A and B are shown apart, each in its own frame.
Chain A
């Protein structure tokens, strides 16, 4: 329990560094670090498959995508960066308080969880869940990803005809 709490604190610190750091590149690295800490937590909570997905996709693939995209951009000047950072701080100063408050409230509420896995005879392993039992979800999620990518391409085109 104590180790999990330490990991959770590390997770919050890594997330804070991700959103507060001035450099975009460091922000991407912070995201990868957050994913790695989350992976450790998932391993500790007996969810090895979710942990492997988190490690390979979030800290691996997505970080590569972010870093390669950032390498194509022009960095902002130091003054501009500071200006943006200040604006962000004034706009979102209350967010850490909201998160801390929500965490405290949730821990006080002590939600009763009564989780039971689905019966063994209906599901044999995660492959079966992914590819057969919940295939519509899987198709839906693949389409969500593609729609997201497709949606982003719209932002980089010329909107109206001259």
Chain B
């Protein structure tokens, strides 16, 4: 029963914000923050439940599959629930300050809640069509949120994103329709059972291609990434942080993982395609990030590169590869959200995101500088921060599965990551101060609180990793049925 709570609570919040947000001052801030606090607490409670019961299933309306709808949470789903609701909570905290510069803030909060409904729905859905419905809900809210600034660049980015997102949804819907016509059921568990009892038909390979194209577009893997840099750099920063931190991972990677590993079954050819897509994204994202002057655009390309690591980990197909990928997914959510918060803090104080115009901010914004260094080093995979461990696990998985060249390229891409992040640090925080940037101070309380929490997670997870290893690996044994 707790599972349906992850969908109903944000729907109720969006509805209430829509009703009262316009009239009651600060209502939308309070309601959205309270909702994300409740959801994060509920996700921790669910984590505890799944640790004892291994899997939670709730049949909506008491109807059994194949006709009825089930919501399901296993180790992987609950891990995603915790990640998504944690990032949403922190994003809501700092958007208290940040969104003050926009009009009709309540609309932002209402749409954000709807996006959260979509993301939580995708995670717990045990039914393919239901997954599609929630995926569409999250996507439509995201298109509108990208356009929230209503400047020409935001509208153009939102339009581009809407077109490419709709094409992705169409691929996914066509894949679901063909799978339904072949198996006569929409329940993921039943589809897997039906497919296991039949020889692998050509149709399944065709459906795999459709799903791969659809989810790769949602996850912004190269060459399906064209929408992401524009959308991330034009959206309000809380939206960029969510899109980069958890959105592309929930709608792209998690859904891909669920469909390929739990429903259709991952063949060696599919794993090879994932490896190649991951490799190309990892390298292309890193090279494109180096060439950027706009902070948010650089983070967007960096996201493409980091998603490449996650996909290459999945492509190994082994327990250690998938666990490493999921751990990197969590780490990337944390450090990329932190970097976006830092960029929002810098932008709110200086009015610019152009790295060529910013300099010497470390003395004026020490907290932002320190947390940004931590996030950058974690992204580059430097010990003892959290990002080091997840990259290490992915590289180990590649090595164990005999993909030595891929492992080597992953190490080299990590050095590239370090290069562009250090370049950013030198330009923005640790160069000679610019006289035009005098009188700047640390951004508001919301920014500082969210930054400190995220930086602490990076440090604590990194330092305490040897003690946490069981709680990270064990849920995936459940997921893989080991």
Against B, the Cβ 8 Å flags (1 = close, 0 = not) of A135-162 are: 1110111011001101111110111110
Judge if A83 is at the interface, Cβ distance under 8 Å: no
Cβ of B285 to closest chain A Cβ, rounded Å: 27
Which residues of chain A from 110 to 135 have any CB-CB distance to chain B below 8 Å in the complex?
A: 111-118, 122-123, 129, 132-135
Most buried by A among B18, B68, B71: B68
Judge if A100 is at the interface, Cβ distance under 8 Å: no
**Would A155 and B155 be within 8 Å (CB), given that A109-B202, A144-B140, A160-B149 are in contact?**
yes
**Would A161 and B102 be within 8 Å (CB), given that A136-B130, A155-B155 are in contact?**
yes
A151 touching B60 by the CB < 8 A rule?
Answer: no
- Complex CA gap A135/B129 in Å reads 12
**Would A136 and B60 be within 8 Å (CB), given that A159-B102, A161-B103 are in contact?**
yes
Which residues of B lie under 8 Å from residue A144 when comparing CB positions?
Answer: 133, 136-137, 140
Which residues of chain B from 1 to 60 have any CB-CB distance to chain A below 8 Å in the complex?
A: 7, 11, 18, 60
| CB-nearest residue of chain B to A113 | B181
A159 touching B60 by the CB < 8 A rule?
Answer: no
Judge if B101 is at the interface, Cβ distance under 8 Å: yes
- Complex CA gap A141/B183 in Å reads 24
A147 touching B184 by the CB < 8 A rule?
Answer: no
Judge if B481 is at the interface, Cβ distance under 8 Å: no
- Complex CA gap A107/B376 in Å reads 51
**Would A158 and B150 be within 8 Å (CB), given that A113-B182, A143-B117, A151-B144 are in contact?**
yes
Checking A113, A133, A161 against B67 with a beta-carbon cut-off of 8 angstroms, the contacting residue is A133
B151 touching A159 by the CB < 8 A rule?
Answer: yes
Checking B69, B141, B180 against A134 with a beta-carbon cut-off of 8 angstroms, the contacting residue is B69
Cβ of B27 to closest chain A Cβ, rounded Å: 17
Which residues of A lie under 8 Å from residue B69 when comparing CB positions?
Answer: 133-137
- Complex CA gap A140/B137 in Å reads 7
B182 touching A161 by the CB < 8 A rule?
Answer: no
Interface size on B, residues (CB 8 A): 51
Interface size on A, residues (CB 8 A): 36
Choose the segment among B107-115, B422-430, B449-457 that binds chain A (4+ C-beta atoms closer than 8 Å).
B107-115
A147 touching B141 by the CB < 8 A rule?
Answer: yes
Checking B101, B155, B184, B202 against A161 with a beta-carbon cut-off of 8 angstroms, the contacting residue is B101
Which residues of A lie under 8 Å from residue B183 when comparing CB positions?
Answer: 114
Against B, the Cβ 8 Å flags (1 = close, 0 = not) of A7-32 are: 00000000000000000000000000
Judge if B148 is at the interface, Cβ distance under 8 Å: yes
A118 touching B201 by the CB < 8 A rule?
Answer: no
- Complex CA gap A123/B101 in Å reads 52
Cβ of A101 to closest chain B Cβ, rounded Å: 15
Cβ of B133 to closest chain A Cβ, rounded Å: 4
Judge if B389 is at the interface, Cβ distance under 8 Å: no
Which residues of B lie under 8 Å from residue A159 when comparing CB positions?
Answer: 102-103, 148-151, 154
16 A-B pairs in the complex with CB atoms less than 8 angstroms apart: A112-B201, A113-B178, A118-B67, A122-B67, A133-B63, A134-B68, A140-B121, A143-B11, A151-B144, A152-B144, A154-B104, A154-B148, A154-B150, A157-B103, A158-B150, A159-B154
Extra inter-chain contacts (9) besides given A150-B18, A150-B107, CB under 8 Å: A123-B67, A135-B61, A136-B60, A137-B69, A137-B133, A140-B134, A147-B141, A159-B151, A160-B149
Q: Which residues of B contact A (CB under 8 A)?
A: 7, 11, 18, 60-61, 63-64, 66-69, 71, 100-104, 107, 110-111, 114, 117, 121, 129-130, 133-134, 136-137, 140-141, 143-144, 147-151, 154-155, 178, 180-185, 201-203, 206
